[in-house]
């Protein structure tokens, strides 16, 4: 949730955390880390989807 706020660079209208405080105290490296976290999540999802379909042996035993 914090990474989303840092990536957007603007507070949400309704939230359970204080977005203004997050943006006020975020360092420049936090933006880099938030981007890296999102990129790694997307890459992990792509690899997981590929692995699911590429190595689906299931009931098709060869």
pTM above 0.85, yes or no: no
* Domain edges within the chain: 2-54
Q: In the prediction, which pLDDT does 31 show?
A: 93
* CB-based contacts of 35, cutoff 8 Å, min separation 6: 7
* Per-residue pLDDT at 55 exceeds 90: no
Q: Computed over its alpha carbons, how large is the radius of gyration of the chain?
A: 18
pLDDT of residue 15: 83
| Model pLDDT for residues 8-42, shown as the tens digit of each residue | 888 888 888 898 999 999 999 999 999 999 999 99
């Amino acid at each position: 949730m914090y990474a989303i706020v840092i990536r957007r660079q603007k507070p949400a209208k309704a939230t359970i955390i204080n977005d203004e405080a997050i943006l006020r105290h975020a360092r420049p490296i936090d933006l880099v880390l938030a981007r890296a976290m999102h990129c790694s999540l997307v890459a992990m999802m792509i690899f997981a989807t590929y692995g699911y379909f590429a190595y689906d042996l299931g009931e098709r035993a060869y």
